[in-house]
Structure 1
Amino acid sequence: MGNCWGSTADNPTPSTTAHLNSGLSQATSNATTSRCSNISANSHFSAASGDEVYPHGQILPTPNLRIFCFAELKVATKNFRADTVLGEGGFGKVFKGWLEEKGSSKSGSGTVIAVKKLNSESLQGFQEWQAEVNFLGRLSHPNLVKLLGYCWEDQELLLIYEFMQKGSLENHLFGRGSTVQPLPWDVRLKVAIGAARGLAFLHTSDKQVIYRDFKASNILLDGSYTAKISDFGLAKLGPSASQSHVTTRVMGTYGYAAPEYVATGHLYVKSDVYGFGVVLVEILTGLRALDTNRPTGRHNLVDWIKPYLSERRKLKQIMDSRLEGKYPSKAALHISQLALKCLAAEPKHRPSMKEVLETLERIEAANEKPREPRIRSHPMAHRQGQSPMIHRSPLHPRQGGSQTYQYQHSPLVR
């Protein structure tokens, strides 16, 4: 992990969370008083339910989540056995689990889940647990990871999510090894569009939500590479109609956080747009937003790459070599120009996520075919020396080997 700055806690403020807390208090009160009394009634559920009915998303008045028993989660994760660990970070460990459907006569019928378990020594854990229940427990959209339920028993705090088979965008872009397949151009575009739909939903909802920690490790992929935004531990309600921004402690991830937020703590809806622009550059280049193993002057991807994004000839020099030149040059240029707009220094000069989504959808609709490349040496061959993956999203499977990767997003981390 790198150097940190900021507070170790991000206290909810009455102006942004009071009306949500009532729903959480009621839900968690049920959890502590009735324990798991409602489990039998809610034992049959689907990790995909709801999105088909509301393809454009919905916001529930209160969290609608299943309350799990700690004992049943111990069974699902084989007593939180080490070989079920998917990731680890500041909150704690995340385990892969299997829930058998109650009352089903079919053997092997059930649901694969991801269980995030709070580390008792975590300083950030309870507030992030609370934020996940408050926000993700009320939000339903095909491009947001589904929070299925939670457990609060004695000192045990856990969150239960749908399991995302293909892991994170981060791992596909930066991971190495035989188990990691580089993403072809059409999948990269699909992922960008899905993530944009998720952010646009948050930004245009009645209770505007600022995600605050948009990055490649928080974009998870299901079995068909549908992108879903995960981890709402830092989410905040947007400003009131009379305000332009929310003032809060600076928390997030170096390289993705918008400059105005890092400098002042002023959080705009379009601070998320900046982070989206960084991810677009990562999708184009296959390079990390921040990598201190790169040569001096190239540690920060945006600062280094910006001059290459405006012209097709320059763009060719920094495109991901693992695409092997198989990408439509016109579409790549349009996306790089869109990224430049997202990375504008001032929030007011950035497009809205609705505009970003419409632009990406137009690029996809143009259906420009990837060109066959000419054989040539790639100017980005030095990429092989970039650092190994050190941040992981908590909900996706480890890709090969026995190395334990870590994620952390609060406070701002390198």
Structure 2
Amino acid sequence: MIILSSVLSTGTLLLCLAMVLYIRNRKQRRNIIEDLLAGKVSGGFERNSNNNLRTENLDLPLFDLYTLAAATMDFSEDSKLGEGGFGPVYKLNELTLADETHRLQLDWPKRYNVIKGIARGLLYLHQDSRLRVIHRDLKASNVLLDHEMNPKISDFGLARSFGGNETEANTNKVMGTYGYISPEYASEGLYSTKSDVFSFGVLVLEIVSGNKNRGFSHPDHQLNLLGHAWRLFIEGKPSELISESIIESCNLFEVLRSIHVGLLCVQENPVDRPSMSDVVLMLGNEDALPQPKQPGFFTERDLIEVTYSSTQSKPYSTNECSISLLEAR
């Protein structure tokens, strides 16, 4: 009886303590949510050494709890993409992957707006944001479209920021996605804004043609999409690259100009590639464009040979997922 009484007393005490901690934790979270909904927190927030909410003016967009709950179907497991070191990651039900532009049968005006929107987004990251940001993994599945087909660049897991006058950096850990990675980054670990420009060029050619760069096949040659677009361009037949699904809705001048700009962006030498500010101007005017030079990685064999020959190259993704070198914490 004494033992049983002691066990019951201890269990009751622990249960009461757990209840107190649970109620206290819920109260703290409710206070934070109320601050968010009341607009008292306008930027990023974190806990300081006294465990109090500390705000910072980070000039970041903030979504209230009700918006997030509605977008994720009340944080349903069906909306959960996965879970990492920072907690669960949910897909928002009003967003659609730009990766699906050809499957969604988007007409040319919508595709052109996607191209221009991605260009403006990259321009902001490279030039107009407080720090210069290199995305390093720009690809179709990392561009989201809202219900009005406005593109949003996402997934900054591999992004790097530069301060001051820095424009490039070198790494021994090459990370990215096959088909979008630039030649200088794959072979030398050198990344810069021009690395993102290369990826953007790949995206443009994919959106225009409705085909993926990786895995593209043609009965007349062994070139990938970049090589196929380059071959058609130098033969004076760039219009053959246009997806059949947008032929009726397209503005031929805009489509051909987009192909031209895309080829300028994927040139092998990063010095030859335009900046994103130049790209935005090119897409917005009718001035004459320079002739593009040979693209980098215009056959799938190019990247494979570079990977095996480079002592600096590290594993990169051979599918649509980005990977990095795993290290123990």
State TM-score, norm by structure 1. Answer: 0.53
Question: How big is each residue's C-alpha offset from its partner over 1:114-158, in whole Å with a ceiling of 9 and x where there is no partner?
Answer: xxx40xxxxxx33xx5xxxxxxxxxxxxxxxxxxxxxxxxxxx13
Residue 310 of structure 1: CA displacement? 4.8
Structure with the larger RCO, 1 or 2 (CA within 8 Å, 6+ apart): 1
Query: More helix by proportion, 1 or 2?
Result: 2
Write the distance in 1 (CA, Å) between the matches of 2:162 and 2:220: 37
Aligned-pair identity (%)? 30
2:37 aligned partner: 43
> Does the residue aligned with 2:258 lie in a helix, a strand or coil?
helix
Counterparts in 2 of 1:224 and 1:343: CA distance versus 1, 3 Å:
same
**1:331 CA drift (Å):** 2.2
| 1:408 to 2:321 alignment | yes
Change (3 A) 1:79 1:255: closer
The answer for unaligned runs of 5 or more in structure 1 is 1-30, 51-58, 86-92, 95-116, 119-124, 130-156, 364-405
Tell me the equivalent position of 1:97: none
TM alignment of 1:53-72, pairs within 5 A:
60-61=57-58
Call closer, same or farther: CA 1:34–1:166 in 2, change over 3 Å.
closer
Distance 1:207 1:327, change over 3 A: same
Match of 2:292 in 1: none
Shift of 1:164: 6.1
Structure 2, unaligned runs of 5 or more: 1-24, 44-55, 287-318
Q: Is 1:309 aligned to 2:222, yes or no?
A: no
Q: Name the aligned partner's letter for residue 187 of structure 2.
A: A
Mapped pair 1:165 → 2:94: yes
Deviations 1:285-339 (A, max 9, x none): 111011166659546321332222356x411222111113442222222211111
The separation in 1 between residues aligned to 2:30 and 2:321, in whole angstroms, is: 31
Cross-structure match for 2:293: none
Counterpart in the other structure of 2:214? 290
Q: Map residues 2-401 of structure 1 onto 2, 5 A cutoff.
A: 34-35=28-29, 37-43=31-37, 60-61=57-58, 77=73, 80-81=76-77, 84-85=78-79, 93-94=80-81, 117-118=82-83, 125-126=84-85, 129=86, 157-159=87-89, 163=92, 165=94, 167-173=96-102, 175=103, 180=104, 182-204=105-127, 205-238=129-162, 241=165, 244-247=168-171, 249-291=173-215, 297-298=221-222, 300-310=224-234, 313-362=236-285
Q: Is the 8 A contact 2:217 2:224 kept in 1?
A: no
What residue identity is the alignment partner of 1:43? Answer: L
Q: Distance in 1 between matches of 2:263 and 2:217?
A: 25
Q: 1:319–1:79: structure 2 CA closer, same or farther, 3 Å change rule?
A: closer
User: What is the deviation of 1:220?
Assistant: 1.3
Do the aligned partners of residues 411 and 289 (structure 1) sit closer, same or farther apart at CA in structure 2, a change above 3 Å counting? farther
Contact 1:238–1:246 under 8 Å retained in 2 = no
CA 1:33–1:360 in structure 2 vs 1: closer, same or farther (change >3 Å)? farther
What is the number of residues matched between the two proteins?
254
Find the aligned partners of 1:407 and 1:209 in 2 and give their Cα distance: 22
Computed over aligned residues only, the root mean square deviation of the Cα atoms, in angstroms, reads 3.8
Distance in 2 (alpha carbons) for counterparts of 1:285 and 1:199: 22
Q: Which structure: greater strand fraction?
A: 1
Give me the whole-angstrom Cα distance separating, in 1, the residues matched to 2:94 and 2:272: 37
Instruction: Give me the TM-score of the superposition, normalised by structure 2.
Output: 0.65
Secondary structure of the 1:250 match is: coil
